[in-house]
Structure formats: C-alpha cells, structure tokens
Structure 1
Amino acid sequence: MNILVIADEETPSLWDYFRPEKLKDVDLILSCGDLNPKYLSFLATFCKGPVLYVHGNHDDRYEKTPPEGCICIEDKIYEYKGIRIMGLGGSYRYSPGINQYTERKMRNRIFKMWFSLWRKKGFDILLTHAAAYGVDDANDWAHMGFECFVKLLDIYHPKYYIHGHIHLNYGGGHTRRQQYGETEIINGYQFHKFEYETGKEIKML
C-alpha cells in the first residue's frame, strides 16, 4: 500500500501545479494537520483511497469549514485494509486555542481510548500533529512533544509513528525519518510518500 503523508505547508506541486497522475498510485493520504481544509478536499477528489486527518494547532478553522470528503480520526483507531491508524491531533499548549493541550489533557484523551486499544489490540500507525517528547521535538513550548506519545510507542510498538508540526526547514538536526525501537518515525512536513509493506520511500512525479 502506498501512503502519502502531508503536513504543515501546502505543496504547490500538489495544488497549484497538480496533475492527476501524481496520485495515481496513492492508496491512502494521511494529514498531520496545519493545512488549508480546501487543500485536503482537493486531494480527496483525486485520490482513490480515503484522506484521513488530525488537527494541527492552527486548525481551529476546521470547526466551521472541515475538509469535505475527508475523514477525521481524532481520538479514534481507524482501520483501513487491515491497517490500524490511531489519531491524536493538536500540540502542546502554549497559547489559547482549541487544538492545544497540556500533558495531562493529552494523557486523558489516550486514557479514554482504552477500550478501542484493547478491542483493536493496539495499532499499526500513530498519526499525530505534535512530536513525542525527546523524539524529534524542540525545546520551545510551542514545539515541545508529549511524554504520553513516547509511552504509546513503548507499550504498543507500532510499525510507524507519523507526525507534523516540526518543519524540516527549522534546522536543529530534524530529519525526515528515524528509528525509535521497533517504530519508524516519519516527519510529514509538506509531503512524503512511502510503501507501507516495505517502508521504501517513493518519489513523487
């Protein structure tokens, strides 16, 4: 299965200069947040599979104008063709906003999902906006990661952890992909396409 990950900044090659063949082999799109809802809706019209998304810290506008034709998986484990995808959007609280959380509130969100985690026997992909604490996050309040995300990785050992929020052009040694135990971490900044079965990166047209 080929998965396209998007986050944080709209990519002109997938919007202003889009060609339908760019998505011809994409089976699933995962959005990590902070994207124009019209961008997600646009991509959904050309993708043969679903567009799943979580909210970024700048996505308060989704309350009034959610992405049409897309599926929000906040606080859910969504299963698609046997792949279990757990969604937890938002960032660490640093200012007013409905998609910002303290560590305690994010931990409570996860606790409320205990039945889904038990029934689904874990998950294969963790999809978030923020990074995990000490794992590809940053030192400032706005980009600090969540400790409870680290615990999810330690307990359930998903195949992939996909997040946004940390722009690769920030500097500071952030990378597109890295390994944490049994989990491969993918920073979804702008876009990244990969094959789920093999983990191999796929170049966009």
Structure 2
Amino acid sequence: MKILCVSDQIDPLVYSTGAKERFKDIDLILCAGDLPSDYIDFIVSTLNRQTYFIFGNHNLKDFGYYHKQRPQKGAHPTWLEDQSMGNLKGSFGATYAGFKVIKDKKFRIPRPGKKPRPLLIAGASGSIRYNNGLCQYTNSQMFFKLLELVPRLLYNKIRYGTYLDIFLTHASPRHIHDKEDPCHKGFDCFNWFIKKFQPTYLVHGHIHLYDMNTPRRTQVGDTTVVNAFSYTILNLESE
C-alpha cells in the first residue's frame, strides 16, 4: 500500500495537472493539518482515493462543523459561529480522523496464519497551546483526549492482535522533530502513546522543512515518526 501524506504547504507537484499521472499508484491519502479545504478537495477529486484528515492550528474555518464547542476565553476570533450542519463525516470528500479510531475495511493487512484485518487509523488534531487559540491544547488536555481512544484501541488489540497501524497528528511528539519555540513544541503524551500502542507510523505536520538535510523520519521503538511537510510517500504492507 502506497500512502501519500501531505501537510502545511501546497506543493506544486501535488497541486498540478500532472498529479493524477504522478501519483497514479497511490492507495491512500493522509492530510496532517494546516491545509486549505479546497486543496484537500483538489487532491481527493484528482486522485479519487480514500482520504483522511485532521486539523492543525491554522486553516480552521471548517473546525466548527466537526467540534461542537465554543472557543476558550481569550481565543482568537477565527471561530466559525454557524454550526447548523453538525458533525460532517466527509466534507470536501475526505473523512475526519480527529480524536477517533477508524477501522478501514477497504484495505486488508495480512496476518500470518490468520485472515487479513482492516487498516487501523487514529488521529489527533491541533498543536500545543501557545496563544490560547482555536485547536490548541495543553499536554494534559491532549492526554485526556487520547485516553478517550483507549477502549477502542484495546478492542483492536483483542480483535486483531494489534492496536493501531497509523497515528495521524498535526504536532509531533516532544523532542522528536519539534522546535523549542512555544508554538512548535511537541506533545509529551504522544511519546507515551507510541510507546504504549506502537503504531507502525506516526504521521505529523506542523514542522516546516527548509533544510533538505533535516531528518524527516525517525525510528522510535516499533514506530516510524514521519514529518509529512509538503508531501511524502509511505509504504505499508497490505494485500
């Protein structure tokens, strides 16, 4: 299975008339945040592949359609007040994965001596809180959001023998690809999460890559942490 991962920047190789041919062998698309909805729509329309997305800390005009909550006190006035459409599951052709555990039966992951299982994905939107803006969380807030995923992850372990294949986030784990400025620090609880649940990949955005020598992939135990900035392609064994 070939997976196209995008985040943070509109890449001219993706946003082009040649994208359909260039990425014709892609099976799945992951959007790791801070992307305009019309860009995601273009990718979905052009490549016609299953697409999952989460929100970052920018490009949040559609956030209110997926999270029925008011902004925190002092938050920036970027909140979308019209929430009449409720929780959309497939706006602009993509499926929201934020703070969910998803079982995708379209993809079959082989298991030695057993029937293949579905692809297992979880997601977490947002960045560390740095100016009390929308879709920003303290480490404690994010930790409790991750705890809400645990029952489903335990079910996956019992039912399929593994917790998770892909953890899709915007921010990175603390001290893995992150920066020391207040906006770009990673979440400590993401380190706990990958140690406990051992996804094959943690795919994140948020950290821009201006130097091609900056590492994009880091191995942490059984998990490969991947910075999806602009775009990158992953491979996952499937049938």
Q: Report the counterpart of residue 106 of structure 1 in structure 2.
A: 142
- Candidates 181, 191, 205, aligned match of 1:150: 191
Shift of 1:23: 2.6
Specify the SS of the correspondent of 1:60: coil
- Candidates 155, 158, 169, aligned match of 1:128: 169
Distance 1:111 1:172 in 2: 36
Deviations 1:156-187 (A, max 9, x none): 11111110001111x59741112111111111
Q: Report the counterpart of residue 182 of structure 1 in structure 2.
A: 222
Distance 1:156 1:19 in 2: 34
Distance 1:180 1:37 in 2: 32
Deviations 1:56-102 (A, max 9, x none): 11032123688511100111111222221110010000113221101
- Candidates 97, 100, 107, aligned match of 1:73: 97
Identity of aligned residues (%): 32
Aligned-partner residue type, residue 149 of structure 2: M
Distance 2:18 2:212 in 1: 31
Specify the SS of the correspondent of 2:103: strand
After superposition, the CA RMSD in angstroms is 2.0
Relative distance call for 1:85 and 1:37 in structure 2 (3 A) is same
Query: In the TM superposition, what are the counterparts of 1:9-158 in structure 2 within 5 Å?
Result: 9-63=9-63, 67-80=91-104, 81=107, 82-121=118-157, 122-158=163-199
Distance 2:205 2:146 in 1: 19
Aligned-partner residue type, residue 44 of structure 1: V
Shift of 1:20: 1.7
Distance 1:19 1:143 in 2: 30
- In structure 2, list runs of 5 or more residues that go unmatched: 66-87, 108-117, 158-162
Total equivalences in the alignment: 197
Distance 2:212 2:57 in 1: 21
Distance 2:167 2:230 in 1: 18
Distance 1:187 1:2 in 2: 16
Distance 2:64 2:42 in 1: 17
Q: Is the Cα–Cα contact under 8 Å of residues 2 and 193 in structure 1 kept in the other structure?
A: yes
- In structure 1, list runs of 5 or more residues that go unmatched: 199-205
Distance 2:179 2:27 in 1: 32
Distance 2:16 2:45 in 1: 15
Distance 1:139 1:105 in 2: 20
Q: Report the counterpart of residue 233 of structure 2 in structure 1.
A: 193
Q: Is the Cα–Cα contact under 8 Å of residues 35 and 59 in structure 2 kept in the other structure?
A: yes
Aligned-partner residue type, residue 185 of structure 2: M
Distance 2:30 2:147 in 1: 23
Q: Report the counterpart of residue 71 of structure 2 in structure 1.
A: none
Relative distance call for 1:32 and 1:173 in structure 2 (3 A) is same
Specify the SS of the correspondent of 1:154: helix
Distance 1:6 1:172 in 2: 16
Aligned-partner residue type, residue 125 of structure 1: I
TM-score calculated relative to the size of structure 1: 0.89
